Structure 1
Amino acid sequence: MPQFSLYEEEYHPSPLQRTWREFTSSHIAVLGLFVLAIFLIFALFAPLIAPYNPVEQNIDSLLIPPSWETNGTISHLFGTDALGRDVFSRIVYGCRVTFGSSILLVIIAMLVGVSIGTFAGMMSGVRSSVVNHLLDALMAIPTLLIAIIIVAILGTGLVNSMWAITLALIPQFIHYTRSFVRSEMKKEYVLASKLDGANAWQLFRHSILPNMIEMLVVQGSLALSIAVIDVSALGFLNLGAQPPLPELGAILADGLDVAYLAPWNVGLPGLSIFLMVLAINIVGDGLRSALRKRVSH
């Protein structure tokens, strides 16, 4: 029986509900979110999902084909590598290392970059000009090249490569945050808050930060895809994660030696990296479109 209401009340969804409704209207964005959720589940529950130890070697199971091939077996879904290690287990743990470390370093880079960028955007005069030119110079250098230079100074390893990529991503967040804050500081609602006696922290928290969400979503998704590529690239070049730690780029490099005999050792980790980056970009574009539609409505 429908609920009786004496007053006809209009339903006004919250901003989060409106954003989700606009996001789910795009089937491609929902598919990207589903794929990204699979990688996130792999990263969070790798020990529960992986059927084997990713670094355990088995000389009796060398280069077993994937289960969908004629000589394959269901006990090794994605086959095994040249040392008898289960490829599916290594990819699951590789998603944990690659995707998990990328999320962590992007969060750190975003927090540091937004803080410094906000401070730089509220500055004026010579200091602001110096910061602007310095950031423009750093932005002209690819993040992977900066990361390689920093790794060459700090040394190889997953932790050092994470610090290197974080330091390489921070200038991007500083640059975009500074440009956004400087444009917002000229708008009437910020000037009105200044006339009301709001200090710099109150201006940022109540006036600038709520309007910065779209920019942070766009730059965060872009930085996450760059981080995944850079972590994988450094692992592939043997500058990041070191064996036997399973990381998608390192797994891809290990499979090159037997690429002609066992192409799945190269194709499957490479496909995982491709799908991860593609899903991140699709979800980022979907969120950006949903936020813009929500604001326009």
Structure 2
Amino acid sequence: MPQFSLYEEEHHPSPWQRTWREFRASHIAFVGLIVLGVFFFFALFAPLVAPFDPLQQNINALLIPPSWELNGTITHLFGTDALGRDVFSRIIYGCRVTFGTSVLLVIIAMGLGVTIGTVAGMMSGVRSSIVNHLLDALMAIPTLLIAIIIVAVLGTGLVNSMWAITLALTPQFIHYTRTFVRSEMKKEYILASRLDGANAWQLFSHSILPNMIEMLVVQGSVALSIAMIDVSALGFLNLGAQPPLPELGAILADGLDVAYLAPWNVALPGLSIFLIVLAINVVGDGLRSALRKRVSH
């Protein structure tokens, strides 16, 4: 028999529990999270999920239609390409390359941007003004254009395109971090910490960073969608991942040669890119809405 307690304390959910509750209340955002989770599962466990080697060619199975077509077969769920490679396996491995690379790029860019932005936000005077004007100039240039210029200097290839996109995304994190830090440095709790003798590192780690996490989550989702588009675009333009590496943009470019004979070679990888970017944007909007409602409550 459960014991009754007259002095039972009222349960107050943590800030992240309230955020999750508000996020889950949005059905569209929750569906987007599920879709994003499916692609993340494909990226993480591609060797276990893919039925075929993505590079395996089969001259006896050229341009087989998808399984829902009249001439399709369940063996090749999404059909095959002009070299007899299984499209479903190539898309799964393409998600691993494109999506996995994008996540890695955002993490690196976030680390660099937060470090430089925090230092810039704590500076004042002429140095802070110079950094601010440089950031404003870089923010006016599209990230894809910056990435193309850097790849033109460094050379083509997936690694060079990764460096290019990282360098293109970093100024955004620097800008938002610097703006956030400068606004926080004017608040009373920072002044109280300074009066207690806290140095710059203690101010950042104990006072500023805990309040910055929400902003980084939101900006990280925006940067992830940009990174996905940029990685795919560079692969499509043959500036990023090079054949035979299965990358969604490169797979889409390969399918253009047989687009009239086998439109699924273009439609399916393009649909995969669209769904991933759409899911990232929906989840990002859901996070922003949940954080806003949590603060208002």
Q: TM-score range by the shorter chain?
A: over 0.9
Counterpart AA for 2:173: F
SS of alignment partner, residue 227 of structure 1: helix
TM-aligned CA deviation for residue 196 of structure 1: 2.0
TM-aligned CA deviation for residue 2 of structure 1: 4.5
Distance change (3 Å), C-alpha of 1:230 and 1:3:
farther
Between the aligned partners of 1:12 and 1:121, the Cα distance in structure 2 is 34
TM-aligned CA deviation for residue 294 of structure 1: 2.1
Give the match for residue 173 of structure 2: 173
Counterpart AA for 1:67: S
Is 1:50 the equivalent of 2:50? yes
Between the aligned partners of 1:126 and 1:26, the Cα distance in structure 2 is 46
For structure 1, the residue ranges without an aligned partner over 5 or more in a row are: none
Counterpart AA for 2:288: R
Give the match for residue 68 of structure 1: 68
Q: 1:160-239 residue pairs with structure 2 within 5 A?
A: 160-239=160-239
Q: Percent identity?
A: 87
Give the match for residue 87 of structure 1: 87
Give the match for residue 12 of structure 1: 12
TM-aligned CA deviation for residue 3 of structure 1: 4.8
Is 1:116 the equivalent of 2:111? no
Give the match for residue 288 of structure 1: 288
Between the aligned partners of 2:2 and 2:282, the Cα distance in structure 1 is 40
TM-score (norm 1): 0.98
1:41-90 alpha-carbon deviations (Å, 9 max, x no partner)? 00000000000000111010011110011111000000000110000000
TM-aligned CA deviation for residue 186 of structure 1: 1.1
TM-aligned CA deviation for residue 131 of structure 1: 0.6
Between the aligned partners of 1:287 and 1:218, the Cα distance in structure 2 is 7
Distance change (3 Å), C-alpha of 1:257 and 1:181:
same
SS of alignment partner, residue 221 of structure 1: helix
Give the match for residue 257 of structure 1: 257
TM-aligned CA deviation for residue 199 of structure 1: 1.3
Between the aligned partners of 1:266 and 1:3, the Cα distance in structure 2 is 64
Counterpart AA for 1:92: I
TM-aligned CA deviation for residue 286 of structure 1: 1.1
Between the aligned partners of 1:290 and 1:153, the Cα distance in structure 2 is 42
Counterpart AA for 2:275: L
Give the match for residue 37 of structure 1: 37
Between the aligned partners of 2:246 and 2:2, the Cα distance in structure 1 is 56
Between the aligned partners of 1:3 and 1:11, the Cα distance in structure 2 is 17
Is 1:279 the equivalent of 2:279? yes
Between the aligned partners of 1:193 and 1:275, the Cα distance in structure 2 is 46
Counterpart AA for 1:250: A
TM-aligned CA deviation for residue 8 of structure 1: 2.6
Give the match for residue 159 of structure 1: 159
SS of alignment partner, residue 175 of structure 1: helix
1:254-291 alpha-carbon deviations (Å, 9 max, x no partner)? 00011111110000000000000010111111112222
RMSD across aligned C-alpha pairs, in angstroms?
1.1
Between the aligned partners of 1:69 and 1:5, the Cα distance in structure 2 is 65
Between the aligned partners of 1:77 and 1:52, the Cα distance in structure 2 is 11
Give the match for residue 243 of structure 1: 243
Counterpart AA for 2:46: A
Between the aligned partners of 1:24 and 1:178, the Cα distance in structure 2 is 31
TM-score (norm 2): 0.98
